[in-house]
Structure 1
Amino acid sequence: MQAIDARPAKPFGHSTLPGRSARVLAGVTLGALLALAELVFLLVFALGLIPIVAVPRSRPAVIRFTHRCAGQLVTLERRRLARFHDVGDLGPYSDHQAFGYVARRWPLGLLGGLVILLLVFGLIVTGSMLSAWVVGGTWGFIEEDGGAVSSATVAVAAIPGLVLLYLNVMGIAGVSQLDVALARHHLTPSAEDVLARRVSELTLSRAEVVQVVNDERRRIERDLHDGVQQRLVALGLLLSRARRSRDPARAADLVRQAHDESEQALADLRDVAWRVYPTVLDQLGLHDVVSLLAERSAIPVTLTYDLPVRPPAPIETAVYFVISEALTNATKHSGAQRIRITVQAAVPAAPFGFTPPTETTAVVVTVTDDGHGGADPDGRGLTGLAGRVAAYDGSFVIDSPPGGPTTIRAELPCA
């Protein structure tokens, strides 16, 4: 799986008035051309209604095909709106919504084309009149007495010309705003759809969190049974043998072994408690705990930590578990020789000419190893991590092609 950044790129001159004006003009012009294509599409669709009348059973197939074609046209419209009008948050929408948008959008596009043509015509007339004024009648603007266009004529014509130019520019801006409003109205989900999808996501996240908790309980029980419990049994046996032994040297040796077992049992118990929740995280902070994880790793780790402020405690915990589980998986299954961990902040983009903000909106964690790849995203450990991240409305991406490398990326919002 690969993450794709779908945000529209901001071209040069994005925040300057001439740059914005040129982009709006280009967007309206391209919208007029697309409107012609949409009108032709609707006319062809009207012809496609003929076989529906003759063969009613063909109606579903014709409608599905038409809606898919409308979806392709809307894809072009979305690219135009994102490139020239900074509208990048459209969707999701159905093919039926796409068809409704196309059916309602073409008159507005043709209106924009008409306004552009009037602007071009006005510029041509203005250029011709100015040329006649300069060169003395070359372009045919001759007064009744045979003379060239006078300065008084140019001055009188300039007043209504400027008014018409202003109205024309305002018309282009109005068409652009209506274009954006129409797209948002038809190509964005309603409040009910958003709430329904949100409820579905929360229901799924809750089920995943419950599964993560159950898996965590089973893992703790397994660690206690296979680790601490076995060592405590061995400790009891050693102390029992030492108590029954009549040889002081032998008894002392058994007590020493029992002491070693008790220390190891305590270390195992601390490891289990650390994996349940590292209390030192509250005291030292995420940076020191992640550094400690990197030092304890059996595979050499390169750590890059770049957070300007400390994130909230729940986010720190989630980041810790993402890194811990990723290191465990890489150590057990990847055969890697090197692991790279990056913890950095995602900050909102600064407007042109302003200082970038320092507020951290999300924490982005990336763990990459140079192993043989082929990690199973549906495995218990990675599925648990995905559920843990989803519980915080975060995103979790695994990229592990055969042959490697394996990259685990999690983004957790701080809000």
Structure 2
Amino acid sequence: MTDNRPKTSKRPGRRPTTFVEEILAAVLPVLLSVLESICSFFFQRLNTAVTILEVSSSRLFGLASRLLGIPPCGTYKPEDSAVLILGVQEGIGRSAALRFSELGYTVFALCPNEYEGGLQGSQMSSDGRRHVSSLLYIWHNRKERSRSLPWGLLAPVSLDVWSTSQRQRAVETVQAYCAKYTLRLVALVISPVPGCNSLSPYMSLYRLAARGVDTCTSCSAEEERWRKRILSQVTEPILMAHDYTWLLRQASGRIIVISPCSEDGLCDFGFSIEEARRAVCQHLCGALQPLGIRVISIITGPLEEASSRPFSDRLVVGCRGQDFDTELLRSIDSRTQSEHATAPIVRPPSVKDDEILRIAQEVVQSRHPKLVYTIGALPVLRAALKLVPANVLLTFKWLSFEILSRNDFMTCWVEKRGSE
């Protein structure tokens, strides 16, 4: 005789799980909201404390330097000074070029550019032409709107950083212009490249392969991003400092290196790249100090998003966004989605361009600038993490990855939160 009754052997095992999921779905949003408020309050207070400490320490350092007779940096009027800025394609580099030109400085804006072809005299690529034209368009618009300001010349120069001949021509151009108009090169500002994802390329390719996505095309894109980040963060500061040492020495100038912390939390892949960039700054500081050149590091929290800047300053950002590998962006797994879903909780508030430019302007106009400036709470927390053993941090990251990748409920909840 056939038993037609419905089988219910699996239901008792599912009921406790469903009940727990319902409880978590009701309680977890409340807990996360409370945690978000606590973290926001904590970061605001920590940011205020860091700002007060930086202002006080800057004044004390200047006073102590004068009392000890430390040789000062050269200070000149803006109309007699020139500033060289590397990385003005977008982001803080572009904002710095416009700000110093607005103050009356002559600004040489260097746009690192990949040229078409490897021979001398090769033509500028379309990206290089777009960066230069966008910068000049924004500069002319601002100059027309603010005629009362003492605008200085803005001269964009697009070059391949890895071409010795192109770098030499750029140096000769800056040197000839400064000699003709009796200008002093008082500062070299090395800005970060915006839009660099701090996610490890090896980890992202591993996750793409695990999801059955063809990684042949994505592999080359990831390798290219890896190469560009190493070059921009570590190699370019050394090359630029070497090329303009003589001009900076004449004015007892400064090299300002802006090093923002990445946006993926406290323990991320970008931490190692940022530490390498700061190690380069320390090396340059020791090497150039006998020549009277100061190397100053401005360490900041994560920079503000491009969408929060004026629309006219985001022309290139919008254009470059179309060149991204859309298939790669659609294939991000639950761990990356969890970082975006919990961003208001685990990420401190971003640092605005005005805060960084205020420090950079203070450094250029100060006779005794500090060697390290800190903006935001995240650099302080990063410094505290250095006291934690590396094995403990690696274990914590591994456990977090395992929990987020194996917990089905957490994965579903994160995907739902990320899609909202």
Q: Same fold (TM over 0.5)?
A: no
* Larger helix fraction of residues: 1
Bigger relative contact order, structure 1 or 2 (CA pairs below 8 A, ≥6 apart): 2
TM-score scaled by length of structure 2: 0.23
Higher-Rg member (1/2) = 1
